[in-house]
Amino acid sequence: MTRRLEGKAALVIGAASGIGKATIIRFLEEGANLVLADWQAEAGATTAAELGIPFIATDVSKLADVEAAVALAVARFGRLDIMVQNAGIYPWQLIEQTSVEDWDRVLGTNLRGSFIAARAALPVMKKQGSGRILYTSSITGPHVTSPGHGHYSASKAGINGLIRAAALEFAGYGITVNGVEPGNILTEAIQQHRSPEFIKGMEDAIPLARLGSPRDVANAFLFLASDDAAYITGTTIVVDGGQLLPEGADFRIMPDRR
**163-169: Cβ within 8 A, 24+ apart:** 163/135, 163/137, 163/234, 163/235, 163/236, 164/234, 166/118, 166/133, 167/233, 167/234, 167/235, 168/234
- Report how far apart the first and last C-alpha atoms of the chain are (Å, whole number): 37
Cβ neighbours of 7 (radius 10 Å)? 11
Which parts of the chain fold into alpha helices (H)? 18-29, 41-51, 63-77, 100-107, 113-128, 150-170, 188-193, 196-204, 214-225
152 is catalytic: yes
In one letter, which amino acid is 97? Answer: Q
131-136 sheet: strands from edge to edge: 55-57, 33-38, 9-13, 82-85, 131-136, 175-182, 236-239
One-letter amino acid for residue 136 of the chain: T
Catalytic residue chosen out of the listed positions 135, 152, 173, 231: 152
Which residues are part of the catalytic machinery? 152
